[in-house]
Chain A
Amino acid sequence: MTAIIEAHGLSKRYGAHLALDHADFTIQPGRIVGLIGPNGAGKTTAMRAILGLTPYEGSLSVLGREPFRERAALMRDVCFIADVAVLPSWLRVDRAIDFVGGVHPRFRRERALELLARTQITRKQTLRELSKGMKTQVHLALAMAIDAKLLVLDEPTLGLDLLARRGFYDALLNDYMDASRTILITTHQVEEIENLLTDVMFIERGRIALDCPVEELGTRFAVVAVNEDQTETARAAKPFYERRMLGKTLFYYETPDLQKLGAFGELHTPSIADLFVAKLSRQAA
């Protein structure tokens, strides 16, 4: 299968600051990829490069196109939702549908209306009259009515309450995702998307610090809760991170020898959130 996104040596410089530093990654079709990183790690810059909003160095191909040069053409197959604030406040819901339907060859108007009918939103309302959650519903209805190959979400639930966040991701998974689509999500709220991802990418200081399918996390990483008397032996097995919790020490290992580690204590696969903290704290130290 051809990759949806391929980046080699992707770099972006703002003055003296390298926002992206020779990042390499590949995203395959049908995946839900979380691009996770602390603030300022280069998430947004990577997104902007992928969406053709900013020039870059290195090579980047999205659906076989060069994003910056061919943004308008690329947007026929790519859909993009940034955080809730980006729909213009003066726009009326029915006109938003008219406009997208007017310029987008892959937009299905009935689908958008059907999705909106499930909400409290009426068509003659302008965006400024809607709550943040409702704005997101409008944007999601517009996006899900577009038959796009790649959906890019940049902190899509920022500023939403728990109900709206849950609703957003439920709609995405139940009504949108299928094998023909690929979703790329950036967020710094890892817990929220942990269960829906098929792949995780950690980005730190402009570089990809980890790129791993979720199903491989169990063979690539392990965390062991070790009692006081075993800590020295556990430390000798070269964990990349450790932290103390409730009288035990948690040791994190990469490419673990599960049999050997099992002898130290209780063995788990770390959650994405824990792994994120472990990976990035180590590098900060």
Chain B
Amino acid sequence: MTTPPHAALNNTLWLIRRELWENRSIWLMPLILGGLLLLAALFGRVDIEVPAHAGSGVGVSLLFGFSITFFLVMSIYSTWYLLDCLYTDRKDRSVLFWKSLPVSDTETVLSKLATALLVIPVVYFVVADLTSLLIAFIISVRASSLLGGSLWRMDLWLQLQALWLYLIVTLAIWYLPVAGWLMLVSAWARRAVMLWSILPPLALYLAERWFLGTDVLGTQIAGRLFGYIAVAFHARADGLAHLDGPAVAASAWDLMNPAAFLSNAATWAGAAVGFALIYGVIQVRYRRTDAG
């Protein structure tokens, strides 16, 4: 392929726009979630008794709590998106239309990956940020000055922005192999993408335990799925739920641990596996145009 770089960039931007047209949930879901949280802030109970010494802690946990809610919804949605993104157009045969255009399969796959790992998180980040601002405003009008006041700290907002950016970058690197696997299933399976995403790893895991008596694969998969917080954050953060304790009125600066994340071998081993899987996705997408 001899596409000049600016043409590849142009195509990728159009493809990402296309993803936003097709998957309106990318922005509708965070907007609805934000709307619900706003309703809760408007009509819910906010006259909580706040002990004076815990005031700022409550502010932190409230704002971080919103962000975590957005993140949970986002990770569920992104998983679904990745499993669906190279499957639906094969199922409804519209892949024949997309492949009739001068757009390469590499551009298609990378634009969908970029949508999942960058576009979706940024949309959630912006919506979560705006929602938090509005909610902070509503609460400070409705609630006690102590709780309200605890929400208006410049450094707290800066922390929140930094935390989001840190999450977006580190999650994209850490979960690249997971995204690659989900996309591989999405590009390959003729039906039942959900089952295909789970059964082969499960079968391999069981086979390894029965025949070799070892548990390498299981440890690796569990470590990848659940080990992120331990790698990217300081140990005390591995229960973000504990944030409401007065001891953790501390700041996000103390939680994030980029040095440990970047120097962890698992980070880069995972990224390498991720790249290999994405290469495989492109090869499968190149060859497979049918489903069902």
Contact = CB atoms under 8 A, between A and B. Distances in A.
B21 to A, nearest CB: 6
B97 interface: yes
Which among A52, A72, A76, A79 has the highest number of chain B CB atoms within 10 Å? A72
B93 A86 contact: yes
Contacts of B10: 102-103
Interface string A85-103: 1111111100100011011
Contacts of A80: 96, 100
Interface bin, chain B: 20 to 34
Interface stretch (B101-109, B132-140, B188-196): B101-109
B153 interface: no
B45 interface: no
Nearest to B95: A86
Contact of B3 (A73, A82, A92, A102): A73
Given A102-B10, A103-B11, A70 B1 contact: yes
B215 to A, nearest CB: 37
A237 B15 CA distance: 63
Given A73-B2, A86-B93, A88-B92, A53 B99 contact: yes
B94 interface: yes
Contacts of A100: 101
B14 A75 contact: no
Nearest to B98: A88
A48 B89 CA distance: 17
B242 interface: no
Contacts of A90: 21-22
Interface in B100-140: 100-105, 107
A55 B287 CA distance: 7
B285 to A, nearest CB: 11
Contacts of A51: 99-100
A165 interface: no
Contacts of B89: 88
B111 to A, nearest CB: 11
Given A53-B289, A82-B93, A88-B94, A103 B21 contact: no
A51 B2 CA distance: 18
Contacts of A75: 99-103
A54 B288 CA distance: 8
A101 to B, nearest CB: 9
Contacts of A58: none
A109 interface: no
A88 B100 CA distance: 13
Which among A52, A78, A90 has the highest number of chain B CB atoms within 10 Å? A90
Contacts of B236: none
B102 to A, nearest CB: 4
A103 B103 contact: yes
Contact of B99 (A71, A91, A95, A99): A71
B209 interface: no
A69 B14 CA distance: 23
A64 interface: no
29 contacts: A48-B289, A51-B100, A53-B289, A54-B289, A70-B1, A71-B105, A72-B1, A72-B3, A72-B103, A72-B105, A73-B2, A73-B3, A74-B102, A75-B99, A76-B102, A80-B96, A82-B97, A85-B93, A86-B93, A86-B97, A88-B97, A90-B22, A91-B21, A91-B22, A92-B21, A99-B17, A99-B18, A104-B102, A139-B97
Given A75-B103, A80-B96, 11 more contacts: A51-B100, A52-B99, A82-B96, A86-B96, A88-B92, A88-B94, A89-B92, A90-B22, A99-B18, A102-B11, A102-B17
Interface of B: 1-3, 10-11, 14-15, 17-18, 21-22, 89, 92-94, 96-97, 99-105, 107, 287, 289
Sorted from nearest, which 7 A-B pairs have the closest CB atoms?
A72-B104, A80-B100, A88-B94, A102-B14, A75-B102, A76-B102, A86-B96
